[in-house]
Structure 1
Amino acid sequence: MSAPQSICLLRTSAIGDVTHVVPLVRTLQQAWPQTSLTWIVGKLERKLVGDLPGVEFVTFDKGAGWAGMREVWSALRGRQFDALLHMQVALRSNALSLGIKAKQRIGYDPARAKDLHGLVINERIPARTGEHVLQAIGSFCEPLGLKQTDVRWDIPIGEQDHAWATEQLPGDQPTLLVSPTSSHTLRNWQPQRYAAVMDHAAAKYWRVALIGGPSPAERSMADAVLAACRHQPLDLTGKDTLKKLMGMFCRGQLLLTPDSGPMHMANTVGMKVLGLHAASNPERSGPYSDRRWCVDKYDAASRKYFGKPASEIPWGSKIERPGVMDLIEINDVIERFEAAAEAMGYRTHSR
Structure 2
Amino acid sequence: MEKQYTPVLKDEFGLALSGKHFKRSSFLRCLKLSIRRIFLLALARMMHVGVEPLPNLYAMKKILLVSVNQRLGNTILVTPAVSALIKALPNVQFCFVGGRHAKSILEGYAIKQIHTIKRIDTVLPHRLWRLITILRKEKYDAAIHLSTATNSLGAYITYASGTRHRIGCMRNDGNILFTSVFKHPQSRHKVDQIRECMQQIGIAAFDERKIILKPEEQLRAEDFFKLHFGDSFKKPIGIFTGGRQKKGKAWNLESFGIIAENLRTRHIPMVIFIGPEEMGNEKCIQSVIGSALYIKNATLREVAALVSKCKVIVTPDSGPMHLAVAVGTKTIALFSKPNFDRWGPREPYGKVIFDKSKTNTKEILNVLLEYYA
Relative to the length of structure 2, the TM-score reads 0.73
* Structure 2 residue 311 is the aligned partner of structure 1 residue 258: no
Q: Deviations over 1:208-246 (max 9, x none)?
A: 111032x2x3113433221113x41111122x2111112
Aligned residue runs from structure 1 range 83-102, under 5 A: 83-88=142-147, 89=149, 91-102=152-163
Tell me the CA shift for residue 8 of structure 1.
Answer: 1.4
* Structure 2 residue 116 is the aligned partner of structure 1 residue 59: yes
Partner of 2:63: 7
Question: What SS does the corresponding residue of 1:148 show, helix, strand or coil?
Answer: coil
Question: What SS does the corresponding residue of 2:78 show, helix, strand or coil?
Answer: helix
Distance 1:81 1:105 in 2: 10
Partner of 1:206: 268
Tell me the CA shift for residue 44 of structure 1.
Answer: 2.9
Of the three residues 196, 210, 227, the one matched with 2:287 is 227
Task: List runs of 5+ in structure 2 lacking aligned partners.
Answer: 1-55
Question: What SS does the corresponding residue of 2:313 show, helix, strand or coil?
Answer: strand
Name the % identity: 16
* C-alpha spacing 1:331/1:154, structure 2 compared with 1 (3 Å): closer
Check whether the contact 1:23–1:138 (CA below 8 A) recurs between aligned residues: yes
Question: What SS does the corresponding residue of 2:304 show, helix, strand or coil?
Answer: helix
Distance 1:339 1:41 in 2: 38
Partner of 1:339: 370
Partner of 1:156: 213
* C-alpha spacing 1:160/1:292, structure 2 compared with 1 (3 Å): closer
Aligned residue runs from structure 1 range 118-133, under 5 A: 118-133=175-190
Question: What SS does the corresponding residue of 1:294 show, helix, strand or coil?
Answer: strand
Q: Deviations over 1:106-137 (max 9, x none)?
A: 223447xxxx8953234333443333212222
Tell me the CA shift for residue 329 of structure 1.
Answer: 2.1
- Report the RMSD for the aligned CA atoms in angstroms: 2.7
Aligned residue runs from structure 1 range 98-117, under 5 A: 98-110=159-171
Amino acid at match of 2:340: P
* Structure 2 residue 299 is the aligned partner of structure 1 residue 241: yes
Question: What SS does the corresponding residue of 1:8 show, helix, strand or coil?
Answer: strand
Partner of 1:16: 73
* C-alpha spacing 1:336/1:40, structure 2 compared with 1 (3 Å): same
* Structure 2 residue 251 is the aligned partner of structure 1 residue 189: yes
Question: What SS does the corresponding residue of 1:77 show, helix, strand or coil?
Answer: helix
Tell me the CA shift for residue 104 of structure 1.
Answer: 3.2
Aligned residue runs from structure 1 range 286-325, under 5 A: 286-287=344-345, 290=348, 292-297=350-355, 325=356
Of the three residues 233, 237, 245, the one matched with 1:172 is 233
Quick check: 117-126 or 95-104, which moved more?
Answer: 117-126
Check whether the contact 2:317–2:335 (CA below 8 A) recurs between aligned residues: yes
Check whether the contact 2:252–2:358 (CA below 8 A) recurs between aligned residues: no
Question: What SS does the corresponding residue of 1:102 show, helix, strand or coil?
Answer: coil
* C-alpha spacing 1:153/1:334, structure 2 compared with 1 (3 Å): closer
Task: List runs of 5+ in structure 1 lacking aligned partners.
Answer: 298-324, 347-351
* C-alpha spacing 1:95/1:150, structure 2 compared with 1 (3 Å): closer
Quick check: 128-137 or 201-210, which moved more?
Answer: 128-137
Partner of 1:271: 329
Check whether the contact 2:333–2:350 (CA below 8 A) recurs between aligned residues: no
Partner of 1:81: 140
Relative to the length of structure 1, the TM-score reads 0.77
Distance 1:49 1:210 in 2: 25
Question: What SS does the corresponding residue of 2:351 show, helix, strand or coil?
Answer: coil
Check whether the contact 1:22–1:152 (CA below 8 A) recurs between aligned residues: yes
